[in-house]
Amino acid sequence: MTVFLMRPFVLLPSAHCRALCGQPRLRRLPGSGPAAAGSVPCPGFPEPREEAPFVCSATIAFLCLFLLRGGGGAAGPRAGLGASARGGCRCCVPQFPCPEGGPWAPAPSWAGRGRPQCGSCPGGSPGSATPATGVPQAAGTAQPPAMEATASLLDAAAVGDLVMLDPLSEEALLRTLQERFSREEIYTYIGEVVISVNPYKPLPIYTPEKVEEYHDCNFFAVKPHIYAIADDAYCSLRDRDQDQCILITGESGAGKTEASKLVMSYVAAVSSKGEEVDKVKEQLLQSNPVLEAFGNAKTIRNDNSSRFGKYMDVEFDFKGDPLGGVISNYLLEKSRIVHHVKGERNFHIFYQLLAGGSAQLLQKLKLRPDCSHYGYLNREKSVLPGMDDAANFRAMQDAMAIIGFTPAEVTALLEVTAVVLKLGNVELSSCFQASGMEASSIAEPQELQEISQLVGLDPSTLEQALCSRTVKVRDESVLTALSVSQGYYCRDALAKNIYSRLFDWLVDRINTSIRVKPGEQRKVMGVLDIYGFEIFQDNGFEQFIINYCNEKLQQIFILMTLKEEQEEYVREGIQWTPVEFFDNSIICDLIENSKVGILAMLDEECLRPGTVNEDTFITKLNQIFASHKHYESKETLNAKHVTDISLPLRCFRIHHYAGKVTYNVTGFIEKNNDLLFRDLSQAMWAAQHTLLRSLFPEGDPQRPSLKLPPTTGSQFKASVATLMKNLYTKNPNYIRCIKPNDTKTAMLFTPDLVLAQVRYLGLMENVRVRRAGYAFRQLYQPFLKRYKMLSSRTWPHWMGNDREGTEVLLAELQFPPEELAYGHTKIFIRSPQTLFDLEKRRQQRVAELATLIQATFRGWRCRKQYQQMRKSQILISAWFRGHAQRNRYKQMKRSVLLLQAYARGWKTRRMYRRYFRSNARMRLSNFIYRRMVQKYLIGLRNNLPPMAVLDRTWPPAPYKFLSDANQELKGIFYLWKCKKYREQLSPQQRAVLQAKLCASELFKDKKALYAHSLQQPFRGEYLGLTQNRKYQKLQAVAKDKLVMAEAVQKVNRANGKKVPRLLLLTTEHLVLADPKAAQPKLVLSLSDIRGASVSRFSDGLLALHLKETSAAGGKGDLLLVSPHLIELVTRLHQTLMDATAQALPLSIVDQYAGPRAWPTWAFPEGAWAGGGVATAQGVSGRAGWNRAAHWAG
């Protein structure tokens, strides 16, 4: 404990530790000796380090009183900082410039998001750390160095925000980027602009933990990251209803596509969850692999280069949940379809289709899985290291399914793609017409026939469209044959147009799936991923268009940045300092002027009749722009007597904001026209393929149009104008991507290449604009909260308003007045050195406060330990005294009990001697008798037989004198068991049991058939009157009074034969019916029955004796054979009892003397048993009368 108390501690309210451990931690300061045994490492850091033990919540509250209320704390939200809150520290101090990746300092930190302070900050000193994770290691036992020693660290390499560079120069900026890049810190700020340097390798900085770290964070309180700008844009859109746009620029290979994916994935991760929301997010994210497959290609600079510009508007509801989006594409590089230089590849989809398509699919598309077979793929195998084309093809198919493409649409899309690929294999041969003019024809018709089969087109139609052209002269059409070169031009033009229109259809189809329903109120976040500025050895029409777009983006960047800066100065009441910057509107006007711009001149040349070529075009440009200071050509330089051998004759040069670019005009007119002969459009319209046909609506012969289509330049100009108008309505966020080397080598930094990009991206100009006037500004409240410890008048509590407190604080620190400016809500500091000095003083004051907290903590800990020990001693004493008293009481109790036992024994012995001789025998006998009876009853209680009614077991009496009592108890117990059993029965069960009891009384030990009926339940109704519609009349006769219904056999009086009958017993009648007609044959009232007779055997014979006065009694008694004799007689007996209160007279005899119409029957034993055949012999008054009758028992 002594070691623990002597160690100095600083409270580190780490948000990171709170998230993982649930409690802040105490960290040992350097120079405090080794860690105490049993110290607990913080799980918030992945590597072990020396750490102090936990401190409870009460301790935390006590220690935080000085610091959290007196200084430090995170900076306010970005809304409070405004667009100009530069210089916010993103590592250890929220509003202090920090490189973030420097060595961890041994000094404490309370600011920002709770990270340890890096050694590059003012007041820090370098410790050891792992660059990848930034985990502090042991800093040794030396005392903290003097604060003045840290001044050398305030160089360019220590700055995470380039706004705080001092001095500001290209060399310092480049050195900062290189230093941060070497520490794998690829992101750097220029105020709110993020600079991203492509590392060309995966980095562990895009994990879900990172997403959570940057979610709803303060932009200037975390390390520079693309997630920070994505979160800031999303929060501004969600919380302040400001439409956002994220502009991602940079040259090819700088990582623009990956940056746009990271932005989209972050927004998808932090937005709400739900089935519909997740579906929309998945569709938006899955549009990337589809568009990359059809719009990206490998170039010399980039393995996954976007060969089109993409702008996606993601639309959100009022809660910030994505609803859908709209994608716009710009200027697909369709010339790549027919030509690409060696070392590059065509669009990914061709290689993915050939590598990932199944054998059945390729056979259906009439393709071979061999890239070297196809002319548009340069007839060479192209395997890209690190890229699995087959897996990417499957991923693209899965993405299409998620977006909502039907299988038919996917098949049609791939069929058109196969058509484009196969067009490159169509070879032409030269021939001559009869007139001697050169013509062309298809050299190998196999490819043409396969293309025609794919699209449902007549091969001759396609061959005619490729080898000839229809020219209209007045009202006549003339078919003109094309030469081989012209035929190849038509073939390539067709392939480019098909693919370009297919790509436009693909974008429209994706928009159909992700577009938001009209009428819903929504917010918009736009993400622009468009070509970077391009300067090649040979720059053509595509580079001219791309660089024009970048000029427009640079224009909007400068204007909106200056506008934002000026608005803040005006809003804060600070005098605006004009900033000198290059206004590139003169270059934009040079290109896009509607009358005398380069694009206008190009369109004019394309439309001018007569001979038109690039020479006339360059001549016109030289005439119009001869005196323009941003335009140069060989002719204009010669006129000025300037010699420049680097500028060829058919070229012109434009001084762009990023540098001078020389353009070769060869191909300008052809690419700007981009004409497709009407014959080809009409041929595509004639195809049976629905998708291909829809791509060429102008080929419809029913709607001919003589209007020329707009040129490529005018289309792109209009698209850029629409894009600029859209961007002006949104709050911009910028990501500037930089390519560190040309070889795509991981973590290789080429200074010259990066410096060139820094220049043409205008980063230096951006920094100058950001630090115009004042380099740092912050709200009064967080500024005062952070630095109030530097003044005795503001520490620990300032009772006035925040602005007055800031003025008092800075006045006491005696900074020059020209270094400070007080706005309405913010303090402005002109130079970074002033801020560095302020931070240095704060670090010194923090060390003093840390010592105070340590001393206070030691005293508090000792007092707590003493109080705990005193409380423990009092508790132990109390428990000991109680224990002693309890032991004393137990000893006294044992002594008293012993004395009482001796006294009771003495008293008993005296009484025994007095009464034993007189009545001891009787007492002992009664005692023994009672004990035997008690033992018997207790044993009987513990060994009672089961509760089953049929179980008649009973334990025997242990003693002979208990036999009678035992038998009596046995009978009582059995009656009680039966009573309990009866109480459990339902009314139906009671009725059945009562009937069985009645049967027992009638037949037990009297008739042999009774034993067989015991296991058979009495059902009563054996005919199914309710289910059989045939018996409806009988059911009407019985109504609700039916007691029993069964099929019996009636014995004929005349001949002894049996006839089947249906017997129905009701509460009032007994009915015999014919089973075929279901009609009653005989209806007897119960009062007409005077008795019944049965035999004692196992037969079912029943004789019913009728009163002679009854209607049926005149015919004699009834003799019936019943399969349920016992139940029938029982129910007849019960019914008579209920109806007449008289029992049924039942005779069980072996011989029956019938009435006058019956003979006398003798029943031999067993004659009726088991359904056998019985022989009856009777005498009816006539001697010698014998009759044999057979009945089925």
Measured CA to CA, the distance from residue 313 to residue 328 in angstroms comes to 8
Taking alpha carbons only, the member of 995, 969, 956 closest to residue 1127 is 995
The amino acid at 465: A
Of 306, 468, 766, 834, the active-site residue reads 306
Catalytic status, residue 597 = no
Tell me how many degrees the CA angle 716-721-725 measures, rounded to the nearest 5. 150
The phi, psi pair for 433, rounded to 5°, reads -80, 175
Catalytic status, residue 252 = yes
The amino acid at 874: I
Of 109, 125, 257, 299, the active-site residue reads 257
Cβ atoms of residues 72 and 111 within 8 Å? yes
Catalytic status, residue 309 = no
Query: Which residues are CB-contacts of 77 (< 8 A; sequence separation ≥ 6)?
Result: 218
Catalytic status, residue 532 = yes
Measured CA to CA, the distance from residue 532 to residue 739 in angstroms comes to 11
Q: Tokens 């508007």: give the residue.
A: 313
Q: How many residues appear in the chain?
A: 1193
Of 84, 287, 302, 791, the active-site residue reads 302
Measured CA to CA, the distance from residue 68 to residue 62 in angstroms comes to 11
983: tokens are 């109480």
Of 71, 112, 253, 1154, the active-site residue reads 253
Query: Which residues are CB-contacts of 130 (< 8 A; sequence separation ≥ 6)?
Result: 47, 137
- Starting at the edge strand found earlier in the chain, the sheet holding 1069-1074 runs 1079-1085, 1069-1074, 1058-1066, 1042-1051, 1118-1121, 1101-1106, 1089-1094, 1146-1148
Catalytic status, residue 212 = no
Cβ count near 563 (within 10 Å)? 11
Strand partners for 1093: 1103, 1147
Measured CA to CA, the distance from residue 311 to residue 326 in angstroms comes to 8
Measured CA to CA, the distance from residue 559 to residue 928 in angstroms comes to 120
Taking alpha carbons only, the member of 1043, 1063, 1005 closest to residue 1130 is 1043
* Strand, coil or helix: 548: helix
Of 463, 534, 592, 765, the active-site residue reads 534
Of 305, 622, 711, 1135, the active-site residue reads 305
Cis peptide before 751, with omega less than 30 degrees from 0? no
Catalytic status, residue 534 = yes
Of 526, 532, 713, 823, the active-site residue reads 532
Cα-Cα-Cα-Cα torsion 177, 183, 187, 188, nearest 10 degrees, comes to: -40
Catalytic status, residue 306 = yes
Cβ atoms of residues 774 and 829 within 8 Å? yes
* Strand, coil or helix: 623: helix
Strand partners for 1089: 1106
DSSP string, 235-296: HHHHHH---EEEEEE--TTSSHHHHHHHHHHHHHHHS---HHHHHHHHHHHHHHHHHHHHHE
Cβ count near 38 (within 10 Å)? 7
Of 84, 252, 299, 417, the active-site residue reads 252
Q: Tokens 């000025």: give the residue.
A: 640
* Strand, coil or helix: 434: coil
Catalytic status, residue 87 = no
The dihedral sign for the CA sequence 62, 63, 66, 68: negative
Please identify every residue annotated as catalytic: 252-253, 257, 302, 305-306, 532, 534
